[in-house]
Structure 1
Amino acid sequence: MTCKRAKLSFQQRTDSRSNHHCCVPFCTASTKTNSYLSFHTFPKDSVLQKQWAVKIRRDHFIVTNTSRVCSRHFVTGDLIEPLTPAGHRRLQPGAVPVLFHWNNYNIPTPRLGLWERTERPPNTDLTVMQTDPDEDDPGSCHEHVYCTSTEPAALHLSLNENEELREEISKLRQQIEDLTVSSKFCLERFSASDEDIRFFTRFASHAHLMGFWKQIEPATINIIRVTRAQSFTKTDQVPHSASATVLQPIDEFFLFMNYLSLGLMQKDLAHRFRIHRSTVPPVIKKS
């Protein structure tokens, strides 16, 4: 990896945004390591706020003033350019995050509902009721058909029991998210230990590493990422197991430093960072 010599100021970022983290599961973006991303608060409208919570798969998430969703999860048309005079990026009214790790950061195709997927005979009208031949008979008593129904057992649970179940599910989801983050091999996991930083990157401390990253970070947005599908267009031989790189730019840099410092094999790097082995060489060559 080559770069021009420059006088570096090895200082960790201490601005007011340094504590902002993206609350989307599996997303490790923060203003500490991704200054070119923007971090947006939840809308004040309760309906739109609930849509955000459902989209990021945190149905019972408690929204606070510090809750943020990074711009990586919005389509380009939802981001207003240019920036405000204060340097902030705004969202279009009614914008909802739709790009996530679980849909490979692509706009999901809307799924048809059960009624649209079911074939129905022509002239089907739910508002038309079949005439009961005995409805003119004053002595008949068939109204009980509409009054008796077998309800699921869950509907008989008390409100307190339902609330306890919701709280338990919310706690379990939080535990899963915490375990997922703690098990990931990334720079953020070792940021609190200068000893680990020296071992994996050969930088003297995390502050020195972040000072160097601050100098090269603006250039990362101009990197052209060539997908495996594009690299095989000449031979029309696209491998069947192509996998997109989902690492943050700072973690791609961390992978490259692991490669230089420890001399790890590509298979070992792919296993550590949980990416496909075929995506390791492009990261190394790009760096």
Structure 2
Amino acid sequence: MEKKVFRYQKLMRPRSEHCCVPLCVVSAIYNSTLSFHSFPVEKDLRKKWIVQIRRDDFQVNKNTKVCSVHFRPDDFMDGTRLKRLKKGVFPTLFEWNHYQEEPPRLSVWERRERPLTPDPGSDVDQDDMDFDVERTGHDYCSVPEAAAVDMFLHENQELKREIEDLRKQLEQTKTIHRFGLKRFAGSDEDIRFYTRFATYNHLMAFWELIEPATHRMIRVTSSKVFKEPGNTRALPAIDEFFLFLMHLALGLKQKDLGHRFQVHQTTVSRIITTWANFLYFVLGSVCIWMTKEQV
């Protein structure tokens, strides 16, 4: 059986117009009933045409055309011999939407409210209601389950306790690595070595006697001028006292003490001078000699 072959008849005067829309093969060479339309001159409308036909970074010139297949019948002007587009229209019919215009989406105020509970006399079942929730992506009537809330509260409490434990461990680590009196508070042997006090309790008993007077301590500045307290201390007061005792008990150099307490050598010198003057006046007022009658 002979196979039939269909051939398109070329126009007598072929035109070079062809459609620039992707997936569209319409050309003016074999079509005399279709019209081809240039892009509008207005920038905003031209940009909308480019977006509608899905051509990114597309360069438009005078030969770039869009065929009439991609326009609705209402987009053309009536009463004209040639197909002319109305002002402000843009292509909407393409192969990817099956040449059908999508229905306009209802606004928020025009949407039908979904009933909270299905009407017993209606044919709406639970599956339809679930479908509405999946389609909209929101269920404004839903509330979190009690079990989930309890689980989150329990996890929140566990995280708070873990943060508190980590904070305590950090403070302990800082205390261990920081050279100060708290580091040796649990060892009377170390207290005896560094300060010559018998125990930590003896040292703290002496500190309680002189601590109220430390607020009136006259501190030494870099210009060797004695000034009233008020400037910020490089070390806590009790660590300054510990540094001074180590200087007296062990005879450590100022540079060595500066490395231990992580302060400058000049700061160590000021601390030693300040505490020497302070203890001289505080302890000098205590009578350590027996009276003539006792002798």
Task: Indicate the TM-score class for this superposition, using the shorter chain for normalisation.
Answer: 0.3 to 0.5
More contact order relative to length (CA 8 Å, sep ≥ 6): 1
Q: Could you tell me the TM-score, scaled by structure 2's length?
A: 0.36
Q: Could you tell me the TM-score, scaled by structure 1's length?
A: 0.37
Q: Tell me which structure has the larger Cα radius of gyration.
A: 2
